[in-house]
Every structure is written in structure tokens, then in C-alpha cells.
Structure 1
Amino acid sequence: MSAEEQVKVLEKRIGELELENKRLHDSVDYLTRKLFGRSTEKTSSLALGQMSLFDEAEIQADPLAPEPDLNEVQGYRKKKFKGQRKELLKDIPHVKRLCTLDERDRFCDVCNTALVPVGEEFIRTEIEFIPAKVRVIDYYRETFECRTCRKNGEPYMEQSPMPYPVIQHSMASPSTVAWVMHQKFVNALPLYRQEKEWKTLGVNLSRATMANWILAASRDWLVPLVERMHQELLQESYLHADETTVQVMNEEGRKNTSDSYMWVYSTGQYCKHSIRIFEYRPGRSGKYPQEFLKGFKGYLHTDAYSGYKMIPDITRCLCWSHLRRNFVDALPKDIHSPEATLPSQGITYCNKLFEIEKTLENLSSEQRRLERLNQETPILEAFWAWIDSARGKVLPKSKLSEALAYALNHKEEFMNYLKDGNCSISNNLAENSIRPFTIGRKNWLFSGSPKGAAASATVYSIVESAKANNLNLYKYLQFIFGELPGVQFGEHPEFLEDYLPWSPEVQEACQ
């Protein structure tokens, strides 16, 4: 090999190493942001002007423009208004506390005459915290006798009815079980910390006992409701699905460090009923959503995970929030550098679509579909044309290259939301539903058994469905445990209708 050829080989190798070095630096920057950066998906600024990446309402859409403009977004501070405090406290009971003079001090310092009250003046309002307290209720049953029948030699006696216990042979009451569940699944308070709180109230209630309460109460009273909601969910035409990892101990044939999954299925924004159902499964195979959604035919909103392809008779709508997130991940460390131009353009295209979507929320399904075709189609055409042109300008195997490929490989699924006005542009509904579970997971870390994970899925299904139906979560749990025991829903499943989150009885009692 001649010296000239050797130089060319070395130059080529140097170029390859420089590209590899650039990719490694980008990867380190990306992982550093994920580990130490802000968890929110909002960014303060970009090059080519200031721009907020995820405040879609601040970005004005121009469907005819082939290239989007980046607009400055100014931060704002929420201003107080007159009567704000009164509005905040309007639903809280008020107690008047009059500050007065002691009887011994009610005399005039000048002439020693007795003072008489002539008026009072309002000074301020305070919120008082009343610590929780517990009490023991001892149930007695009264017995009645007919004296006439006894005289006639035919004694007749009758006992008063008793409320059915939420858990047989237990000191648990509807309020205590509801509170334990509320603390863990709504406030993300682990049982070991609840154990300490109960102790401060004078009750030595072990975490094992509380865990058994959750298992028994969910099995007997919540599972039937969730199964009924599952039937309703399958009748809808627009669903969302997502999944996240969970560590479950003592799974048969698996290590404790293995990843299991919590799946969530949700009805769409414009469906008849707001339903959120969680399901624990030991893996991420597509057979799990296939089994859960058996019989469903319609539009399913998900991420691009290939396992959802196993579900027959559905039309998949992929999430534009996921796509936008990929462009955010592709931003360089210095977002004012020229290298930020391409990913910022991708972000802005997505933002323009989200901005239009906000203006269409109150339209009918058909009007929304037509307006999408009219307003969003030009932006989408410009976006896909930009994708094609940008592919040749990016570093292979880079984050931006992956984002462009992700969009292009799933173009059809990203466009499917245009087919029906009741479809959504994102899967945020499912992601928002599963977020409380991920927050709780950070506190309690793992489930102690598959039964515990299944019970957690059941309680989260009730809690998140109640939240979606604007219920007071504690009141709803207490309502179920106080009213459902003793109802013969095994023989008459239709009785469960009165205990679903959207029933008029529940709405009236649990607001």
C-alpha cells in the first residue's frame, strides 16, 4: 500500500472515530439529562428565538406555512384577585371565635365603671387542623319478643338486623379499610409508615394486618366492580393502553429481580363512561393485551410497542407526545447551538398540531374530523416532507436519526387519528392514569406477592376510575365497603350498577 493510500485510510478512520466520539458525547449528554435533569417535559428556550416546547397554547398555528416559526413565550405569575381566599374556603365549615375581655377586666381605667359590649370587628381568617382520632364501636343486637304469642304457648322472638362486616372476623370497619387504601393508593404512603401513624393514635396495627385487609376487601368487594367495568370498557370504540414495570416478589419460577408489568386500559376522552382498569401481568408479551381486550373492535391508542400488533380487529393510533419526546431527547446540551435547529423544528411541528387540537375539543365528532383534515393536513404534509429532507442531514445512529426513523416507520399509525373525530392525537390519557402508580412505586418499591400485585391493580382501577368521574376517593371507598357487603350481587349482577363510579347514587353520595 502506497503512502498516499495509507493516508486516505487513516483519514477515513479518523473521520469514523470523530463520528463515534460525537455519538458517545450525545449519549452521555442525553443520559445525564435523564438522570439529573428536570423530569418535566418543559424547556425554557431554544436557539432561533425563545420557545417553550410543550406549552402548545402559546404557539400560534399557521397551516399554510411550509416551515414553522418559533415564537417567544413569556413566563407569567398567577395574580391574586379580590375574594380569592373566600372562594378557596367556601366549602369548609366556619366557626366564629370571639375574642373578648375577661369579666374581671371589664371596668373603666378612668372612673372604674363597668364596661358593656358595643360592637365587634372582623380581624382575620385562619385554617385550623384537627388531628385524626379513632374510637372503638361495640356492636350489640337487640332481641324482641311477642308476649301475646308467649301466653298462647307459641313463643315468637325477632332480632334486629346487623350491618354486614367488610371483612369477616376482623376489627376492620369500612372507614379504616377505606383510609388504609386511600393512604397507600392515593397518597402513596407505604404500609410501614401507616403503621407508625396508627401507633401515634394509640392503635398497634401491623402492616401485615393492613395488607390482609387490602387483599380481602379488594377480593370480595372491588374485584366484582372492576369486572363489571371491564365489560363496559370492551363495549366502547376508543381505548388507550400503556404499561410500566413493577417488581413482584415470590413469583413462581422467576427471580425476585425480574421485571413484571402493570398494564392500564382506559376509555377515550369522548366515551360514554370514564373507566381506568389496571392489570398485573408477569411479562410484557402482546398476548396479555390480546387476552384483556378480547372482543374489542375499534381504535386503540398506544405507543409503538410491537406487542399491541397481536390484538385483532383494531386500528392503532400512535401517540404524538411520544414522537415529540423523541425530538426533545435529540436536543443537544447547548440548545442555542446550530445543532438544535433540526430537532427544534420537529418539536414545533408537533406543537402546532397540539395547539389546533385544543381549539377543537368542544366540537362534535364529525366537525372535529373535518377541521382536522382542513387545518392539520397541511402541517402533516409539511412535516413528512421535512422528515424526508432531514434524514440525509443527520448523523447515523444519533438520537435525531432515531427520532426521524421512528416517525417514518410508523407514519400510517401516526396518521390514523384523522379517520375519526373521537380519536386522540396522544396517549396522554393512559399515561396520566398510570402516573399515580409510578409515583407510589417509588415509595413502596415492590409488591410482596403476585396476589398483592393483583390486589394493587384492583384498587388502582377503582381509585383512578373514581378520579376520572370526579368523585371524592375516600368517600367512594367508604361507600363501597359500607353499602356493598350484604348486597346479593352474586345472584343479581345488575345490583352492581348502583355502585359503579358514574351511577347517580354514587355521584350524589361521593362528591
Structure 2
Amino acid sequence: MLKAEVDDLKQKLERMNEIFANMQRARFGQSSEKQKYVSPDQLSIFNEAEAEQNPKAPEPDEKTIVVPEHKRKKKKTLEEKIAELPAEEVILDIPDNEKICSYCGSTLRRMGKKFLRKEIVTTQKTIKVVHYYAYTYTCDNCEKNEGVSRIKTVQAPEPLIKHSYASPSLVADVMIQKYADGIPLARQEKIWRRDGIELSRATMANWVIKVAEKWLKPVYKLMKKELLNSNVIYADETVVQVLKEDGKSPQSESRMWVYGCDERSGKSIRIFEYQPTREGRHAASFLKGFEGALVTDGYSGYNAVEKATRCGCWAHMRRAWRDAMPKGATIENSKAAIGYQYCSKLFALERKWKNHTNAERLENRHNLAEKLVDEYFLWVRTVDPAKGSKLEDAVIYALNQEKYLRAFLGNGEVEISNNFAENAIRPFVIGRKNWLFSDTVKGAKSSAIVYSLIETAKANDVEPYAYLALMLSDMQYLGRPFSNEMLEGFMPWSDKMKAEIEKRTLPVSE
């Protein structure tokens, strides 16, 4: 009887320590996924030789030892970036009346100039009003002979918003400040006032909503169509608060969903969509017709996407083990540390194959990763966690998600985690800390459109302000309705779009 009571108290103490450790981790611990709780090389439970063995692997020689190609663009140094800026010289000179030799009184002769230093100088934003006029022409001969005045003039580009001062550059600036830089419209209002312009937040909000709906939405729809043609889509969602929404209180939570594909699909696309709830039917509606692989977290709502092959996220699996690890956990004293180590081992293998083709990665997964995954789930079934503990949560997650966590083994294009979608939605989450909420549903939907274009532009190494300003400017000259052929040139991955941006934004050296 006494022993049972002691065991019960020990279990309660262990549970309390677990809760306390997780509270400390949540408040003070590192937020990066690059965890270092357990070294990938410290476990003897894994047989490295057997895991890495491939009898068909050829011996390397001088011809076959190559460095994998890196597609990532080399980052420019500060000096290289400064060299691209417009430049001017400031010459410091002594007064004319002092250009006399203090020894003999002769006039001094300039022998050259010496370099002193470089500085980066900023100036206030250049603001101007552009007045549009159109020449009109008439035929004097018709007027003389027929008494009819036939007038001809140029077809003016359609304004972004009728009877408004909004220009492509101005609207693009407002959008970038809010959605890329996280500056709420209320703060932008003060910034514009400092620059001498009374531009209210209500006016800017109207501009964003109207331009997004009228001009950006057709591009957004074509980007979505391109996304649904990809083989793999990553999805995630986060909370957004909308103050004025029918049937809901201002304090209630809505959702911003994100769907995307990466470079392995040929195009980097991020599409945001606002929905009032987290129900799986929203994902099913957005992904209607998609029959590829859908990579998500453990939320069961994604099962509503019927024709897609759902793939699980090993990063979420690893987090579950991390949350169950007490302070000072090792593989000798913590089952959670062993589970965490299995996941880390899998990620270590995947990093080796990062630059491999889909076919090569699939073969490696069959030869190496599949054995590791089989061993992992055999081990999971041996764990007997305490009821109500974080360890039990991790075991339940593993067993419930096994089908989805194994799915990557049959598709070399699929990543083993949903980190892509989490990274795609992070700019929205960071921006939300500044602007806090959307006022209306229209505002939330417009935000989704603008975020989609900005984040897709960034994903394709296209400067987002230049992209929005150029696109809005050129679209004014297109006839409506916009055809897909017209809009193809405005896709952020379009070579034509990239060339136009580079051509129009080249720095001018003086």
C-alpha cells in the first residue's frame, strides 16, 4: 500500500516537473527549430554502418567527386551594394584667399585630390503631382467640306481608381509599408503628414481594398491556378481577428490560410486565403481538383481534401518529443529524448539529399530512410507513458499520424516537414503583431491577395515594391477583361517581368 502511494507521488512529481520545464522552455527557451537537445551522433542505438550501407554504391574517383550545385544567389557585400548606388563627389577646398604659400607668398598650384571617406546619404521622399493631358486633333478638310468636326485623341490609360489621386507607385508604397514592412495605416498616416501630405488611414484602406479587388485579384487567381497544377502543396493556417463580421463578435477568431509550392515544383508560389473558421471544408474548397501530395501539420481538418495524398510533418513530431523532455534529458533517462533523436536522425539523412533529384531522393529513402522509420514506429509501440503526460501526447501523435508520416517515403518531391508553409505564413504573423486586426472582411480578403503577391515575388527573388508598381502601371494600358495570356507576363517567376523590373530600376551613376 505504501509503495503504491510512493509510486503515485513520484508520478505526480514527474508530471509537475514536466509542466514546469515546459513553462520555462516556452518563456525562456530558444524558438528556433535548430534544436541541440540531443546530438545526432551520440546514440549507439543506431547502427551507422548498416544504415548507410549501399552495396551498389560505386567507389569515388577524381571524376565523380563533385560539389553539388547551389541555386541560392550569392549575397552581395555592403561594399558591392554601395557601388551600385548613384554616386556624387563632394570636394573640400581651402578658400581662394588662403591659396598662398605661407613661406614665400607665391600662389599655390593644385596637385591633385585625396580620398577621405564614403557616406551613405538619404533624402526625403520625392513627392510630386502628375497632371495628365491628351492632345486632341481635328480634320480641317472634313469640317470645311462637310461641316463635320471629326476629333481624334489618344486612348488614355484607365486610372487605378476613378476620381482619385492614387497612382501605381503611391498604392504600391502603401501596400509594401503595411504588408512587407509591418507599418499599420495609422502610422503611415503620421509619416505622410511629416512629408507634407494629409493622407488619412481611411483613404489608404479604400485604396488597398479597391486596387486589390479590381487589379490584383485576376493575377491572384491565375497564381492559384498555377499552384493547383503543381504536384505538391504545403498548407497551414493562423489566427486573424476581424472586427466587423456578420454573425461574429469582434473578439472572435477567424483564420488566414496559406498554400504554397517550392522550387521542386518548378515555381515558388504562396497563396493566402481568408476564411471565417478553421473548418476543413475551406481547405477542401480551395484545393478542389487537386490530386497531388498535401503536406500539413496534424490537424484532421485537412482530411476533407478527398483526392489529395496527405503527408505528415516530422518537425511537428519532433516538437512533441521535445515538449515531453524534462530538463537535462538524455537517452539514458528519457524516452522522449530517444524519440527526439530518431526524428533528428531522419532530418540529418534528408539534409544529405537536399540537392538530389526527386528520383535520387526517392531511392535513398527506400534504401535508408524507410528502415529508420520502421524501427522508429516499432520503438514507439514499446513506450508506456504515464496518463496525462506530454510523453503520452507524443506517443498518441505518432500513432495517429503514422500513415501520414510515412507518406513521404513514396514521393521524392515531398519534404518531410511542413516548415515551408510555416515559413510562408510567418510574415503575416509578424505583421499581425503591428496592425493587430482587420477592420472588415473585405479588408481581410484584400490582405490575403496583397500578401500572396508580395510573398510570391520575394520567393522568386523579385523586389516586391518594383513588382507591384510596375504591374499596376502596365495593367492600366491593357484592355478588359484580362486574359490569361495578358496576365502570364505579370507572374513573379516570369522572365519578362524580371527583365522589365531590372531594366526600369537600374541605378544611374553620376
Superposition TM-score, scaled by structure 1 size: 0.86
Alpha-carbon distance change, 356 to 104 in structure 1, aligned in 2, over 3 angstroms: farther
Identify if the C-alpha distance between structure 1 residues 336 and 318 changes in structure 2 by more than 3 Å, giving closer, same or farther: closer
Q: Which residue of 2 aligns with 1:487?
A: 478
Counterpart of 1:464 (choices 455, 458, 475) is 455
Q: How does 1:78-97 map to 2 (within 5 A)?
A: 84-97=77-90
Q: 1:403 to 1:45 in 2, by over 3 A?
A: closer
Q: How many residues align?
A: 474
User: Is 1:366 paired with 2:329?
Assistant: no
Name the structure 1 match of 2:71: none
Query: Among 166, 178, 183, which residue is 1:184 paired with?
Result: 178
Q: 1:234-281 CA deviation, whole Å, 9 max, x = no partner?
A: 222211111111111121111111111111111244113222111111
Corresponding residue SS for 1:431: helix
Report the RMSD for the aligned CA atoms in angstroms. 2.5
Which of 32, 45, 50 pairs up with 1:64?
50
Q: For residues 164-188 of structure 1, give each alpha carbon's deviation from its aligned partner in whole angstroms, at most 9, with x where no partner exists.
A: 2111111111111000000010001
Q: Report what 2:497 is aligned to.
A: 506
Deviations 1:154-203 (A, max 9, x none): 43322234232111111111111000000010001111111110000001
> What is residue 398 of structure 1 aligned with on the other side?
389
1:294 aligns with 2:280: no
Please point out which of 27, 33, 46 is paired with 2:19.
27
- 2:152 pairs with 147, 158, 167, which one? 158
Counterpart residue type for residue 405 of structure 1: I
Distance 1:105 1:348, change over 3 A: farther
The answer to whether the 8 Å contact 2:272/2:448 transfers is: yes
The answer for the alignment partner of 1:113 in structure 2 is: 106
Q: Does 1:424 align with 2:410?
A: no
Instruction: Give the match for residue 8 of structure 2.
Output: 16
Percent identity over the alignment is 38
Amino acid at match of 1:188: G
One-letter identity of the residue aligned with 1:33 = R
SS at match of 1:100: coil
Q: Deviations over 1:445-495 (max 9, x none)?
A: 111111111111111111111111111100111012111134224263431
What per-residue deviation string (whole Å, max 9, x for no partner) do you get for residues 328-352 of structure 1? 222223457965x433333332222
Counterpart Cα distance in 1 of 2:40 and 2:104: 72
Instruction: Provide closer, same or farther for how the CA distance between residues 482 and 84 of structure 1 changes in structure 2, counting only shifts above 3 A.
Output: closer
Indicate the residue corresponding to 1:233 in structure 2.
227
Q: Match for 1:309 among 303, 307, 317?
A: 303
Correspondence for 1:131: 124
**Which whole-Å CA distance do the structure 1 matches of 2:399 and 2:97 have between them?**
86
- Quick one: distance in 1 between partners of 2:143 and 2:154? 19
Does residue 323 (structure 1) correspond to residue 314 (structure 2)? The answer is no
Cα distance between partner residues in 2 of 1:52 and 1:40? 17
Partner of 2:236: 242
Residues 349 and 204 of structure 1: CA distance in aligned 2, closer, same or farther (over 3 Å): same
Counterpart for residue 277 of structure 1: 271
Q: Aligned with 2:256: secondary structure?
A: strand
Specify the SS of the correspondent of 1:240. Answer: strand
What SS class does the counterpart of residue 108 from structure 1 fall into?
coil
Tell me which residue corresponds to 2:246: 252
Distance 1:425 1:165, change over 3 A: same
Partners of 2:411 and 2:49 lie apart in 1 by: 20
| Deviation, structure 1 residue 365 | 1.6
- Match of 1:169, SS state, is coil
CA distance in 2, matches of 1:321, 1:284: 21
Q: Please, what TM-score do these two structures have when normalized by structure 2?
A: 0.87
Is the Cα–Cα contact under 8 Å of residues 149 and 156 in structure 1 kept in the other structure?
yes
Quote the residue 1:147 is aligned against: 140
Q: Contact 1:182–1:474 (CA<8 Å) still a contact in 2?
A: yes
Work out which of the residue numbers 32, 35, 43 in structure 2 matches 1:40. Answer: 32
User: What is the match of residue 198 of structure 2?
Assistant: 204
Distance of aligned partners of 1:291 and 1:30 in 2 relative to their CA distance in 1, 3 Å threshold: same
Tell me the SS of whatever aligns to 1:499.
coil
The correspondence for 2:167, drawn from 163, 167, 173, is 173
Q: Does 1:496 align with 2:490?
A: no
Structure 2 Cα separation of the partners of residues 367 and 405 of structure 1: 33
2:439 to 444, 448, 455: 448
